[in-house]
């Protein structure tokens, strides 16, 4: 690009720059723009495009995206004016959850860089442009936006900001947009006397309001995910102020531009606008929906819907942990465990191409992986599942989409990571280094406040996933033509498996760890010697029953729990876990009124009080990993080889769910599978794409080839079903 990065000399975090120009005739015109921060372009007073939060969040020092717009229709013969409103955004409005330290920034000053290409001529940003304050007086990702249409607008001085333009790349993934508008469900006057608008759904976005002609004053909006004792709850966002302020006279539509909030409820001070003048605007990356699950069981349907909302709310340019508090960061472990669900629900290929590029860029030279990507925290380590994302995320993407480039592009990064993990090992077992363990499992004894790590030995988990990463890396090595390295990985895998068995199984064949998560992982990843599998599966089943079918597992155990039970002959138990309505359990949240997935199984305790802790969001998607299981084992849409080149259809009846099916637009075509109970019998049905090899496995029956593209099979309901 020819443009220079320009900002302002003064300390305004948001400002406007503009340039007038004259054209003799209108010809094809393209605008290319980017910013250190966020920008909105206008030509002749008209907003360019419908993208939001551009240019998005990347590891700016290595990748900065620019956007391209065809703006031919915006121009007129004669005088024209182009302007940009620019704000700090992720670049410099401050991020990070350490309230004792200043917030983290990539740089001090926001800046914009643009080329307006009119045929042969280019109008580009430079110090000849003029600058002034914007009616957006300040804006921050965490703290919200202040707009003032009354105070005078002062002029500012344009300065050039140094930036290495070799990091510029064209937009990699789909754009963030304002996707949907939700109406107010009810206006509540709380016991404290506050006016609160309920949108009925926990979302990520902003609120748009409209004042009338008589209005003259300031309106303040604040956001929350829940009410507590009927009152607006303002503790959920921690240090993030999440406050939008509008000072205005007369009728005006008002909506923040450079921020977003995670909320279901909005508190309004300074006006009493009626419900039809208030809308919630859902803001996130505009991905293509590929999967849906439908069921007659209302609670399960609500759970599925909540999970999809959780994904939408947390896929705003990066896969974030949560959208409301002073984090909203790309926590790698969260993204990793949820991806199996996410990639069924939406086409996430480009979204993860972009994010993995940052993951590689932010990886330490010595191989440690950033815990959040983009790595604003400068926090890199080998914590299992979080660090393993470097291998496991490409692997899941390869499995669902069959695209080998996910593995080959990340192969070198995987190799480096293995070296880093090996530094924490002794005699083939991980023995040191930071771990989060089976994060947020409820199987620990809580003697102190810190009940986050679960009881399962985290170095056992770490060694086991190191072995998994070896398998993945060996496959990536094969695809990259490095046969020797592939062989080396397989040898190391065999050794690690041997060491895991020596270390965690007794000579008599008993498993030395007794948590559900430990048992699940040993079975699912084939760590238990085959001869002892049956016995351990039985122990696991007893363990689950002893826990009253409640989910005491953390984010790691939970992802594999139902798969392990189902694949080892305990499908009855699976059904009881899914349908358990007690705390902790998936339907417990639903029954407590959740509209997204909670961070903790007991984010709200049965007595209605919140878990007393600052780390308690109502929009963390990781426990939504159960949806992958519903797609693959209950509805029964599964791949036998990567990219659904070979399909397995295996719907399984869950007593208590009378009808359930999934539709999935896979890369080879549309797949439908599920069952319904009709006249006391189970009708299994499926549709598979033309020309794709598919097999059918119904409960307790042998696998057989599917000949007809669409079919139905009727079976008796057995008591054991
Ligand atoms: C985040 C998580 C994350 C975790 C790791 C939390 O504060 O919200 O979702 O994975 O930290 O420690």
Residue 435, number of CB atoms within 10 A of its CB: 22
Question: Which of 354, 142, 365 is closest to 261 using CA atoms?
Answer: 142
Is 721 a residue whose pLDDT tops 50? no
CA distance linking residue 515 with residue 552, whole number of Å: 9
- Rounded to the nearest 10°, the torsion over CA 602, 605, 610, 615 is -20
Cβ-count burial 685-711 (b if 16+ within 10 Å, e if not): bbbbbeebebbbbbbeeeeeebeeeee
CA distance linking residue 644 with residue 136, whole number of Å: 49
More confident residue, 495 or 608: 495
Can you tell me which atom of ligand 1 is nearest the CA of 97?
A: 7
Q: Report the percent of the chain where pLDDT is more than 90.
A: 95
Is 720 a residue whose pLDDT tops 80? no
Token look-up 């748009």 returns: 208
pLDDT computed for residue 509 by the predictor: 87
| Any ligand 1 atom below 6 A from CB of 321 | yes
Question: Which of 334, 343, 207, 331 is closest to 287 using CA atoms?
Answer: 343
- Rounded to the nearest 10°, the torsion over CA 192, 197, 202, 207 is -130
Mean per-residue pLDDT of the chain: 96
| Any ligand 1 atom below 6 A from CB of 319 | no
With cut-offs at 50, 70 and 90, classify the pLDDT of residue 346. very high
| Any ligand 1 atom below 6 A from CB of 532 | no
pTM: 0.97
Q: How far is the CA of 516 from the centre of ligand 1 (A)?
A: 22
Q: How far is the CA of 321 from the centre of ligand 1 (A)?
A: 7
| Any ligand 1 atom below 6 A from CB of 133 | no
Protein residue with its CA nearest to atom 1 in ligand 1: 321
| Any ligand 1 atom below 6 A from CB of 326 | no
| Any ligand 1 atom below 6 A from CB of 368 | no
Pocket test for ligand 1, best of 318, 321, 384, 451 (most atoms within 8 A of CB): 321
| Any ligand 1 atom below 6 A from CB of 436 | yes
Q: What is the pLDDT of residues 569-623, one digit of tens each?
A: 999 999 999 999 999 999 999 999 999 999 999 999 999 888 877 889 999 999 9
Average pLDDT over residues 665-694: 97
**Cα angle 480, 60, 386; round to 5:** 55
Can you tell me which atom of ligand 1 is nearest the CA of 332?
A: 10
Per DSSP, 87 falls in state E
CA distance linking residue 523 with residue 536, whole number of Å: 8
| Any ligand 1 atom below 6 A from CB of 331 | yes
DSSP letters spanning 650-709: -----TT-SEEEEEEEETTEEEEEEEEEETTEEEEEEE--TT-EEEE--TTS--EE--SS
| Any ligand 1 atom below 6 A from CB of 232 | no
Q: How far is the CA of 227 from the centre of ligand 1 (A)?
A: 23
Helix, strand, or coil (residue 42): strand
pLDDT computed for residue 448 by the predictor: 55
Average pLDDT over residues 262-273: 98
Can you tell me which atom of ligand 1 is nearest the CA of 436?
A: 12
Query: Please, is 719 exposed, middle or buried when counting C-beta atoms within 10 Å of its C-beta (0-12, 13-18, 19+)?
Result: exposed
Q: What is the pLDDT of residues 453-463, one digit of tens each?
A: 889 999 999 99
pLDDT computed for residue 450 by the predictor: 56
pLDDT computed for residue 613 by the predictor: 78
Protein residue with its CA nearest to atom 9 in ligand 1: 321
Protein residue with its CA nearest to atom 4 in ligand 1: 331
Can you tell me which atom of ligand 1 is nearest the CA of 555?
A: 10
Q: How far is the CA of 8 from the centre of ligand 1 (A)?
A: 36
| Any ligand 1 atom below 6 A from CB of 377 | no
Contact (Cβ atoms closer than 8 angstroms) between residue 1 and residue 33: no
Q: What is the pLDDT of residues 449-494, one digit of tens each?
A: 557 888 999 999 999 999 999 999 999 999 999 999 999 999 999 9
Q: How far is the CA of 618 from the centre of ligand 1 (A)?
A: 13
CA distance linking residue 128 with residue 85, whole number of Å: 16
Is 151 a residue whose pLDDT tops 50? yes
C-alpha distances (whole Å) from 115 to each of 3, 18, 123, 683 are 6, 13, 6, 60
Contact (Cβ atoms closer than 8 angstroms) between residue 309 and residue 256: no
Can you tell me which atom of ligand 1 is nearest the CA of 615?
A: 7
| Any ligand 1 atom below 6 A from CB of 621 | no
CA distance linking residue 88 with residue 107, whole number of Å: 9
Q: What is the pLDDT of residues 270-325, one digit of tens each?
A: 999 999 999 999 999 999 999 999 999 999 999 999 999 999 999 999 999 999 99
Question: Which of 122, 124, 109 is closest to 156 using CA atoms?
Answer: 109
Q: How far is the CA of 575 from the centre of ligand 1 (A)?
A: 29
Q: What is the pLDDT of residues 213-244, one digit of tens each?
A: 999 999 999 999 999 999 999 889 999 999 99
DSSP letters spanning 102-140: PPB-S-S--EEEEEEEETTEEEE-STTSEEEE-SEEEEE
Contact (Cβ atoms closer than 8 angstroms) between residue 394 and residue 335: no
687 - beta bridge partners?
A: 672, 710
Q: How far is the CA of 619 from the centre of ligand 1 (A)?
A: 12
| Any ligand 1 atom below 6 A from CB of 327 | yes
Can you tell me which atom of ligand 1 is nearest the CA of 617?
A: 8
Pocket test for ligand 1, best of 439, 441, 618 (most atoms within 8 A of CB): 439
Pocket test for ligand 1, best of 319, 323, 331, 601 (most atoms within 8 A of CB): 331
CA distance linking residue 146 with residue 139, whole number of Å: 6
CA distance linking residue 520 with residue 537, whole number of Å: 8
| Any ligand 1 atom below 6 A from CB of 262 | no
Give the side-chain half-sphere CA count within 13 A for 399: 18
| Any ligand 1 atom below 6 A from CB of 638 | no
Can you tell me which atom of ligand 1 is nearest the CA of 452?
A: 12
Q: For 612, left (φ over 0), alpha (ψ -120 to 50), or beta?
A: beta
Is 667 a residue whose pLDDT tops 50? yes
Pocket test for ligand 1, best of 98, 239, 334 (most atoms within 8 A of CB): 334
CA distance linking residue 411 with residue 403, whole number of Å: 14
Q: Report the percent of the chain where pLDDT is more than 70.
A: 99
pLDDT computed for residue 564 by the predictor: 98
| Any ligand 1 atom below 6 A from CB of 615 | yes
CA distance linking residue 589 with residue 582, whole number of Å: 9
End-to-end Cα spacing for the chain: 64
pLDDT computed for residue 449 by the predictor: 54
């Amino acid at each position: 690009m020819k443009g220079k990065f320009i900002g302002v000399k003064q300390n305004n975090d948001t400002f406007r720059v503009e340039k007038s120009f004259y054209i003799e005739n209108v010809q094809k015109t393209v605008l290319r723009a980017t910013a250190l921060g966020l920008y909105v372009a206008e030509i002749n007073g008209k907003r360019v495009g419908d993208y939001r939060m551009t240019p998005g969040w990347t590891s700016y020092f290595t990748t900065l995206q620019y956007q391209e717009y065809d703006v031919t229709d915006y121009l007129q013969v004669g005088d024209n004016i182009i302007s940009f409103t620019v704000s700090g955004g992720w670049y410099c409005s401050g991020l990070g959850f350490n309230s004792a330290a200043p917030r983290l920034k990539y740089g001090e000053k926001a800046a914009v860089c643009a080329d307006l290409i009119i045929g042969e001529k280019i109008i580009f940003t430079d110090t000849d442009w003029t600058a002034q304050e914007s009616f957006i007086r300040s804006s921050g990702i965490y703290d919200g936006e202040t707009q003032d249409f009354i105070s005078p607008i002062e002029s500012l001085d344009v300065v050039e900001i140094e930036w290495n333009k070799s990091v510029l790349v064209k937009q990699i993934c789909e754009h963030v947009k304002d996707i949907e508008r939700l109406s107010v469900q009810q206006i509540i006057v709380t016991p404290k006397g506050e006016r609160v608008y309920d949108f009925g759904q926990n979302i990520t976005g902003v609120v748009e309001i409209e004042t009338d002609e008589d209005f003259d004053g300031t309106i303040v909006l604040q956001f929350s995910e829940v009410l507590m004792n009927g009152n607006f709850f303002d503790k959920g966002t921690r240090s993030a102020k999440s406050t939008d302020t509008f000072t205005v006279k007369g009728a005006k539509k008002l909506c923040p531009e450079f921020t977003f909030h995670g909320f279901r409820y909005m508190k309004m001070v300074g006006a009493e606008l009626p419900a039809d003048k208030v809308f919630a605007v859902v803001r996130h990356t505009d991905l293509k929906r590929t999967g849906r699950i439908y069921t007659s069981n209302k609670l399960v349907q609500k759970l599925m819907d909540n999970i999809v909302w959780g994904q939408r709310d947390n896929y705003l340019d990066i896969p974030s942990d949560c959208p409301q508090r002073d984090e909203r960061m790309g926590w790698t472990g969260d993204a990793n465990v949820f991806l199996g669900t996410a990639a069924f629900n939406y086409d996430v290929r480009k979204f993860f191409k972009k994010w993995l590029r940052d993951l590689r860029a932010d990886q330490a030279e010595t191989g440690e992986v950033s815990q959040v990507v983009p790595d604003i925290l400068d926090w890199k380590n080998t914590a299992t599942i979080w660090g393993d994302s470097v291998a496991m995320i490409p692997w899941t993407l390869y499995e669902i989409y069959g695209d080998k480039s996910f593995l080959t592009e990340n192969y070198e990064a995987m190799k480096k990571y293995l070296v880093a993990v090996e530094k924490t090992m002794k005699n083939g077992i991980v023995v040191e280094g930071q771990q989060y363990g089976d994060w947020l499992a409820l199987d620990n004894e809580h003697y102190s406040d810190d009940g986050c790590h679960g009881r399962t030995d985290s170095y056992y988990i770490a060694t086991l996933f190191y072995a998994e990463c070896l398998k993945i890396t060996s496959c990536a090595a094969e695809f990259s033509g490095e046969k020797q390295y592939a062989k080396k990985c397989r040898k190391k895998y065999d050794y690690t498996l041997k060491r895991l068995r020596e270390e965690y199984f007794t000579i008599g064949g008993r498993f030395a760890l007794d948590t559900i998560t430990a048992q699940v992982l040993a079975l699912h990843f084939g760590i238990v010697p085959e001869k002892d599998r049956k016995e351990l599966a039985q122990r696991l089943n007893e363990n689950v029953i002893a826990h009253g079918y409640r989910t005491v597992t953390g984010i790691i155990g939970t992802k594999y729990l139902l798969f392990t039970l189902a694949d080892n002959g305990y499908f009855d138990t699976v059904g009881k876990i899914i349908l358990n309505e007690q705390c902790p359990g998936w339907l417990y949240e639903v029954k407590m009124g959740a509209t997204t997935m909670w961070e903790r199984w007991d984010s709200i305790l049965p007595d209605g009080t919140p878990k007393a802790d600052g780390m308690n969001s109502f929009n963390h998607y990781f426990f939504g990993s159960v949806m992958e299981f519903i797609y693959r084992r209950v509805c029964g849409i599964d791949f036998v080889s990567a990219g659904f080149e070979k399909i397995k259809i295996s719907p399984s009846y869950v007593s208590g769910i009378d009808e359930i099916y999934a539709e999935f637009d896979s890369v080879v075509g549309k797949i439908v599978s599920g069952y319904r109970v009709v006249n006391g019998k189970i009708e299994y049905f499926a549709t598979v794409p033309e020309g794709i090899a598919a097999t059918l496995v119904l409960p307790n029956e042998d696998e057989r080839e599917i000949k007809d593209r669409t079919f139905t099979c009727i079976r008796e309901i057995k008591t054991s079903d």
